[in-house]
Amino acid sequence: MEKFYPFAVFFAASRVNVEEFLSEEEEEPLPQEFVLIEKTEPDGTVEEILFSSGGDIDVYDLQALCDKVGWPRRSLSKLAAALKNSYMVATLHSVRKSPGSEGNDQKKLIGMARATSDHAFNATIWDALVDPGYQGQGLGKALVEKLIRALLQRDIGNISLFADSQVVEFYQNLGFEPDPEGIKGMFWYPKY
């Protein structure tokens, strides 16, 4: 049985400032995959951080990432079902290219966020996470902002999420508000 954690805070961004996320030069749809950051190390190794909204993700890689951030283990079949039934899955991958090793690129999942939706008005962001070795570089912010942009481009403007108490400030800095306009998240948990 899955373990439930009733300490999440419900946030809603029903008053998302669309202009903040969709400036005139960004009205074109996000490409399905693009390089977010590129770094070259002293030995010539190039690391690219790729953003993708294609949803192509290996559940074993996701389980390993969840382990790294300290999340409770979930069954692989439920992870696969959650990914399959999501409206949108956004990922961050690190791709390392060493000089002289063409074709032997090392690709590693370092971030993921997903959204469920009614495909018309509402979406909820779930499971936003970034590998601890890559945290503090703005990647989580970029991942969530790109996901929000993609949802807004599909005319979905009521976006909510659930946040553990230690990341509330992170989401508030992205424009999410706890209980906007008196909206309250309601929870039902099994009593066994």
For residue 106, the domain's CATH number is 3.40.630.30
Asked if the structure places residue 41 within a domain, the reply is yes
The per-residue pLDDT for 124 is 96
- Taking only the tens place, the pLDDT of each residue in 108-139 is 999 999 999 999 999 999 999 999 999 999 99
The pLDDT of residue 14 is 40
Number of domains into which the chain is organized: 1
Ranges of the chain whose pLDDT falls below 50: 1-8, 13-18, 24-25
- Catalytic choice (5, 60, 171, 189): 171
| Residues 6+ positions from 33 with CB-CB distance below 8 Å | 50, 51, 52, 53, 54
Q: Does a structural domain hold residue 191?
A: no
The whole-number pLDDT of residue 147 equals 94
pLDDT of residue 105: 81
> Is position 160 within any domain?
yes
- For residues 89 and 83, is the Cβ–Cβ distance under 8 A? yes
Instruction: Give the pLDDT score at 163.
Output: 85
5 labelled catalytic: no
- Which pTM value belongs to this model? 0.80
Backbone angles phi, psi at 177, to 5 degrees: -125, 135
Q: Which domain holds residue 138?
A: 33-175
Whether residue 192 is contained in a domain is answered as: no
Q: Angle at CA 31, nearest 5°, toward 29 and 36?
A: 120
63 domain-assigned: yes
